[in-house]
Structure 1
Amino acid sequence: MDSPPPPADPRAALEVARSHFASGATRALEARRDALIRLRGGLEAMEGEVLAALEQDLGKSAFDGWTSELLLVRQEIALALKRLPRWAAPSRVPVRWFHRPGRAALSLEPRGAVLVIGPWNYPVQLLLVPLVSALAAGNTVVLKPSEMAPATAAVLARLLHATLAPPLVQVLQGGPEVSQALTELPFDHLFFTGSSAVGRRVAVAAARNLVSTTLELGGVNPCIVDETADPAVTARRIAWGKFLNAGQTCLAPNHVLVHESRYGPLVEALRKTLTDFYGADGRGLQRVVNARHFARIEAMLDQGRAAHGGGADAQALHVQPTLLVDPVPGATVLRDEIFGPILPILPWRDRDAMLSGVVALPAPLALYVHSRDRGFVQWVAARTRSGGFCVNDHVVQATVPELPFGGVGASGQGRYHGRAGFEAFSNARGRFHQPAWADLPMRYPPHRTPLSLIKRMMG
């Protein structure tokens, strides 16, 4: 397979994307379908290389790489190929009697040249799922993969150059300076996945050019466990969702708030579950991404008492899966996104006081509840805000391709996946057609029809 050309200049890449979009080559549904089919074929042909790159960058096993990365992209492509004609078809809009015989319709049209900036923690699916949506919507795309997963970025650049060669899709590699230069350009839409702190800077840069944005950020995702939850089942599901990808998941539960009657049993069940999952020494857990993030995570281990784990190996970039109890007053692990394999656990007695603490934090990307009490679940849902709400499970809500995914407030803005992704990369264009022979005289000056009659007719 040919190597891709050197990274293009950001401004030149935008001009190439604009020029190709202006040619009209991306608008036909058959061209969009062809691009998606070629992307699917490229992923199948280079699956081994992609999985090897994920293992090199993140220590991710082939099983986790396929199920948490490639599977989601394959699902998204399959859904887009199936639904594309329906998504792209104009929809009739009802009109009032005084608009007739005119007709109104809503048309979802491509935005143009769009930019997608991906993160390092899921460097395949969080770059390529937005790409699927952008291609299905008929855009040209400039992609910026994360420099913190360099092997994966290089493989994806080769894959996309071979299957969706410029000018349809361009991949620009490089560090933060490349991302900054790209966000300062007047793209027709900007899609960013990353931290809330960087997302704010991206939003400011995009606003200078009035560029529309989709921001998929993170947050402090609470997990609430009530007195009706089964400790064994709850522990397995919490442990899976939290320690997947070594806790480096924007949807991972950040901390657990458990009713005091289930506190001891849940902690014990979690200890057993983590030993079963990752071994007594925790070495079965994936490593963290790099030394900087290792140091950040290791510093959090002192913010409470380790009821399980608590060890760290700087040379191997490995932090044991850790259950943190009795957090110190003002612990940042309860206010900031941990993004690592540490799980604080706190008991609660009064549900109103517990929920007051939850709603005092910025609205999270996800809120989790473990309960068999439907009334309690509905009570929590009605009194909180979050991007997603998941009951008795974790993370899987993001794997439903037809369920819109995104945050609210500090955890993000905009939605994607399935039709929501198609709409995110589309311009909703209203159309109205009036026959030339229909010309209602009462609307023209001088106005002879009494206003009282107009109000009765049109009000």
Structure 2
Amino acid sequence: MIEQIESIFQQQQLFKIQLRYSDAQQRIEKLRKLRRAIESNEDLIYEALAKDLRKSRNEAAISEVLFIYGEIEFAIRNLRKWMRSKSVGRSVTNLLAKSSIVYQPKGVALIISPWNYPFQLTMSPLVSAIAAGNCVVLKPSEHSPYTSAAIQKMISDSFDVKEIACIEGEKSTAEALLKLPFDHVFFTGSSTIGKQIMKAASNHLSSVTLELGGKSPVILDETANLETAANKVAWGKLINAGQTCIAPDYIVVQENRRDEFVRHYLNAVKKMFFTMDGKIDPTVYAKIINQKHADRLLDLIRKSVLDGAQLVEGGILSEDLTLSPTLLLDVSLDNAIMEEEIFGPILPVITYVKLEEAISIINRREKPLALYVFSENKHSIQQVVQQVPSGGVCVNDVLIHVSNPHLPFGGVNGSGQGSCHGFFGFKAFSHERAVMRQCKYALSTLIYPPYQGKKIIFKLLKKWI
């Protein structure tokens, strides 16, 4: 495996020089080729997602496949504009020069993707890397083996390894890849592994994009429509059985409105994810990825209850790794479930009296990847948005901000570094290069030594700069 990895890397190191000369049309053709590859393997992809996570075809279409078609088409429509050099202003010392910013491919990129949305989170950065003109090595997650195998087949059937290669393997494979001097590393996963990725990349001073996670809170103020909010939170929390990096992690609701929210939430859960006879519907509700992750979630529930939390609903794991939607009340802010990202169908509900208290509860933790605010009060919305830092904000909804390719998607500090999607993904895999074309009458020569008799020039510079 080590020899195969090094051989692919060397081939891409040579080919990246050729790709620097690729124009927009060539990259667009490669994006269209990627779309055709996905279309011809759709059934295999859907089958793999069902085996790995029990995703229904409808859920997989919305959250995995159609999402990528949208990214590809958005890149195709806008690539010429993105690639165009951008003229910028002048300063005193280069008054007659022409200055611009051009986007150059970084070179050879490594994309390490997770298991929770194994197709979307592999393909999305790949679209950006292709648009930016890079060679790419993909390392999909070993925890979603069927989808990883489907991606490997699709890529190997459609692309030469010197352009795009997909390498399957365990943790040791990722470690071997990270020993190589990639020009850029794009990682999606936990903050714990993200730190290891960043440390490994620093050995080669490789640039990194880290799409991590965190505890994305939902604030419900006194003006929020609780029935509407509960429906949206139930969907956002329980799609993919809560295994979503921007899933609502916990609720912060006014104390006197808690019970009303709980009632609406449980009704929404039953309506969306249960059959008429009161059983979980496996055709719309995904399973937990593996036993290890399921055990971790059960342990979080157990520790919460031992610490005084009230288990209102759920907490039951079946043999097929279905963890029933779980609701917890009276959760201690110091409990483990409030310290780490849940990444499962467990929803703690925290109460507050004044909005400032809710803001303080959230700001005690790492900056989240997403912040959700439900309110009809513009002042309250503005207060939360200004005072609670996060990767992104969604007002009166959950999750859907990720679907707008005009917006940057990314975290801050513990929830990530850098942005992706659309132009922001193109930028992540590009070097923003400064280019200045000086004219033959350069004013900068006036500040060359000797300096005798040039006091007036320096006085003018001090005034104009």
Could you tell me the TM-score, scaled by structure 2's length?
0.94
Q: Take 1:439 and 1:182, find their aligned partners in 2: how far apart are those partners? A: 49
Q: What is the alpha-carbon distance in structure 2 between the residues aligned to residue 7 and residue 274 of structure 1?
A: 48
State the 1:348 CA deviation. Answer: 1.2
Cα distance between partner residues in 1 of 2:173 and 2:218: 37
Report what 2:98 is aligned to: 103
Does 2:275 correspond to 1:282?
no
Alignment of 1:23-422 (within 5 A): 23-24=18-19, 27-279=22-274, 280-284=278-282, 285-302=285-302, 303=304, 304-313=309-318, 315-328=319-332, 330-422=334-426
Measure the CA separation in 2 of the matches of 1:221 and 1:373. Answer: 21
**Offset from partner CA, 1:301-349 (integer Å, 9 cap, x none):** 2213221222211x21111001111225632111210000100112211
Q: Structure 1 unaligned segments of length 5 or more: list them.
A: 1-5
Paired amino acid for 1:202: I
Alpha-carbon distance, 1:8 to partner? 6.4
Read off the aligned partner of 1:399 and give its amino acid letter: S
Structure 2: runs of 5 or more not aligned: none
2:187 is paired with a residue whose SS is strand
CA distance, structure 1, for counterparts of residue 311 and residue 260 of structure 2 = 16
TM-score normalised to structure 1 length: 0.95
- Partners of 1:236 and 1:139 lie apart in 2 by 42
What CA distance in whole angstroms lies between the structure 1 residues aligned with 2:396 and 2:164? 40
SS of structure 1 residue aligned to 2:223: coil
Distance in 1 between residues matched to 2:340 and 2:416, nearest whole Å: 15
Matched residue SS, 1:161:
helix
- Alpha carbons of structure 1 residues 255 and 181: separation in structure 2 relative to 1, 3 Å: same
Letter in 2 for 1:9: Q
Shift of residue 281 of structure 1? 3.2
**Residue 7 to residue 210, structure 1, CA distance change in 2 (3 Å):** closer
CA distance in 1, matches of 2:426, 2:455: 44
Equivalent AA in structure 2 for residue 195 of structure 1: S
1:434 equivalent to 2:438? Answer yes
**How many residues are aligned here?**
453
8 Å CA contact retained: 1:8, 1:172:
no
**Runs (4+) off by over 6 Å:** none
Between 130-139 and 220-229, report the one with greater CA deviation: 220-229
Work out the percentage of aligned pairs sharing the same amino acid: 35
The secondary structure found in structure 2 opposite 1:138 is: coil
Q: Distance between the aligned counterparts of 1:98 and 1:266, measured in 2?
A: 62
Q: Classify 1:440/1:424 alpha carbon distance in 2 versus 1 (closer, same or farther; 3 Å).
A: closer
1:3 counterpart residue number: none
Q: CA deviation at 1:9?
A: 2.7
Letter paired with 2:415: S
Instruction: Indicate if the aligned counterparts of 1:115 and 1:187 stay in contact, CA closer than 8 A.
Output: yes
Q: How many angstroms apart in 1 are the aligned matches of 2:450 and 2:166? A: 60
- 54 and 455 in structure 1: CA distance in 2 versus 1, 3 angstrom threshold: same
